[in-house]
Amino acid sequence: GGEHSLEERCEWIKESIPMTARKVDPTCVEHLARVVTEKRVTKGEFIAREGEPGTSMHFVIEGSCSATLHGRELERLLSGNCFGEIALLEACKSIQAGGVVDGANNRRVASVVALEDCLLYELGAESASKLLAMSPNLWSTLETMARRRRRRSSDEM
């Protein structure tokens, strides 16, 4: 559901950073567009909190957010950026190993707050694990992003 048509969602997703890093199959983009949920958040709202369980990732479509750790800004997230891939990948690994996904083992490594009213697409682990199995390129891209961000947040510790 939501206000964007499937075509519009495909366009937004295609332009987002994880999709442009390595070639991602158009059917994968379309599948992703079908399974994301649109989420509107208002300025000042927290989308993720450091240390809380998380099993989904978000794409920033409109607006901007700030990722912080211990109150210090790590990164400004603008349209086309995404966040939450670390928790998402961990959750997908649990699913693939036949485990349960409750987010208990997947803690958010940073907090993300909306700097203005935003539109996000949320991708949950259940949908993502099927998708990532279909698209090894997307999996590698998310792994690379997750590695970089893990390194950056440990530098901030």
Rounded to two decimals, what is the model's pTM? Answer: 0.89
% of residues, the chain, pLDDT over 90: 43
- Predicted confidence (pLDDT) per residue in 89-103, tens digit: 888 888 888 877 665
Beta strands in the chain (DSSP E): 37-41, 46-48, 56-62, 65-69, 72-77, 82-83, 111-114, 118-124
| Count of domains for the chain | 1
CATH of the domain at 47: 2.60.120.10
pLDDT at 1 over 60: no
Whether 1 is in a domain gets the answer no
List all residues 6 or more positions away from 111 whose beta carbon is below 8 Å from its beta carbon. 46, 48, 49, 50, 67, 68, 69
Whether 82 is in a domain gets the answer yes
Which residues constitute the domain of residue 113? 6-156
